Amino acid sequence: MTAQPAVRAEPPHGAVGHAVRLSRLAAGMSLRELARRIKVSAATVHAIETGKTDLAVRRLRDIATVLHTTPERLLTTDASMDVEPDAPRRPTVAPSRDAEDRREWRVFGPLRIDPVLAAAITVFVRTGYHGATMRSIARRAEMSVPGVYHHYRGKQTLLVTTLDLSMDDLTWRVLAAAAEGRDGISRVRLMVEALALFHTHRWELAFIGASEMRSLEPANRRRIAELRNHVQHLLDEAIDQAVAEGSLGTPSPRHAGRAIATMCTSLPQWFHLGGPTSPEQIAAEYARFALGLLAHPLAAPA
């Protein structure tokens, strides 16, 4: 029998796209910025990341160069991308953003979104996903219904785009906050501050993310859940570092990490801009609450 040459099995397009997306988020780069740098449309990058299009070798190399990685790493199915909540994690490299970008994670300017998506976000908050219709979104956007369908295929596309926008904005801020930390406990404090600031300043996006995961189709729900778990794992890694440094007294760091994330994601349920407490005050308090859950001595109020 003639020996057959070994053939390296390539991962499915979805796996490569998932790796591209996580690498992009870790680099703190928006989908549109990646598209601009590799000279394609944002729709093409979205199709790559969701596994809906073939990825040519040349384009894969271009993406790897822009994201400061290698094609081999993007083609390798990485166990660290699994979403089991308690699986061991390898350390995540902080994003290579410049000093000005790292300062900006506390700044929340207007989002650059089109009128249709802006209208959908408002309607989803007011009526919920199932109460919204393409007609009500068109009315809010002051467009015709066919005009709305020209930009988005339907409500599900609008919801997925909203949650992608939310996770992009949240993830780069958490990564940038972590990059400022000098040790594990300072990373935890800064990451909680970033989480709280996002869930107050961007409370509409955060509200939709907390209330409408159930409205996603199964494949979309799995993908968005992976992105949410990625943020949780970033926080868990900082807690693990603080535990290794002997900074914490909690016997249950994983449970504490889940509790910290949950108290931040619940902020949109009651917080509204313009109330008696500012997002910055909330963020400072929640960072202290987090230290308390982790049994750190700095949790006591000054």
At 195-231, the pLDDT tens digits run 999 999 999 999 999 999 999 999 999 999 999 999 9
Q: Tell which CATH classification among 1.10.3720.10, 1.10.357.10, 3.60.21.10, 3.20.20.140 matches the domain 154-299.
A: 1.10.357.10
Sign of CA dihedral 238, 64, 219, 209: positive
**In the chain, where the domains are located:** 11-71, 154-299
Q: Nearest to residue 178, comparing CAs of 260, 235, 240? A: 235
Four-CA torsion 106, 112, 116, 120, nearest 10 degrees:
-10
Structure tokens at 76: 């390798």
Instruction: Average the pLDDT over 50-71 and give the result.
Output: 84
pLDDT, tens only, 268-283: 999 988 889 999 999 9
Query: Average pLDDT of the chain?
Result: 84
Q: Of 88 and 266, which is predicted with more confidence?
A: 266
pLDDT reading at 123 higher than 90? yes
Which superfamily, per CATH, for 11-71? lambda repressor-like DNA-binding domains (1.10.260.40)
pLDDT, tens only, 133-181: 999 999 999 999 999 999 999 999 999 999 999 999 999 999 999 999 9
> 11 pLDDT band (50/70/90 cuts)?
very low
55/67 Cα distance (integer angstroms): 16
pLDDT reading at 128 higher than 60? yes
- Give the model's pLDDT for residue 97: 38
Q: Where are the alpha helices (DSSP H) in 76-217?
A: 99-103, 115-127, 134-141, 145-151, 155-180, 184-201, 203-211
Q: In one letter, which amino acid is 220?
A: N
User: Global pTM?
Assistant: 0.70
Same fold for the domain at 11-71 and the one at 154-299? no
Structure tokens at 184: 């594990």
